[in-house]
Amino acid sequence: MTNYTTKKKYISYLQEFDYTYLDWNCLNNDGMQKYSDAQLLKFLKNTSKNKNTLVVLMHDSGDLNKTQNVLQDSIDYLKQQGYEFRNIQDLIE
């Protein structure tokens, strides 16, 4: 069984128990290695393309990158692209 097939199988098991599976589909790579602020924003822009709904992964540890330096620019960019910000409850209800 492929990883994708296995993942779908386990997601269906979760649904049987009334769990909602949620995973990120957009990231800025801030946890991968040291990048410039411009690179972090570029990764976010690239991974957000052609998606109706985004779940964005960003880290707040500051071990590699200072994500807070590009947070406002990231929010502004996504709003300019027509995205609205909601809390997690809005996604699973």
* Residue 59 placed within a domain: yes
Residue 13 within any structural domain of the chain: no
- Using only the alpha carbons of the chain, give its radius of gyration: 15
Query: Considering the domain boundaries, does residue 18 fall inside one?
Result: no
- C-alpha span between 71 and 25 (Å, rounded): 17
Domain region containing 35? 23-92
- Percentage of residues in the chain with pLDDT exceeding 90? 57
As for how many domains the chain has, the answer is 1
Which tens digit of pLDDT belongs to each residue from 27-48?
A: 999 988 999 999 999 999 999 9
Question: Which residues, at least 6 apart from 53, have a Cβ–Cβ distance to it below 8 Å?
Answer: 25, 91
Within a domain: residue 55?
yes
pTM of the model: 0.80
CA angle 15/16/18 to nearest 5° reads: 60
User: Does residue 15 belong to any structural domain of this protein?
Assistant: no
* CA torsion through residues 35, 77, 26, 70, sign: positive
Give the pLDDT confidence score for residue 25 in this predicted structure: 94
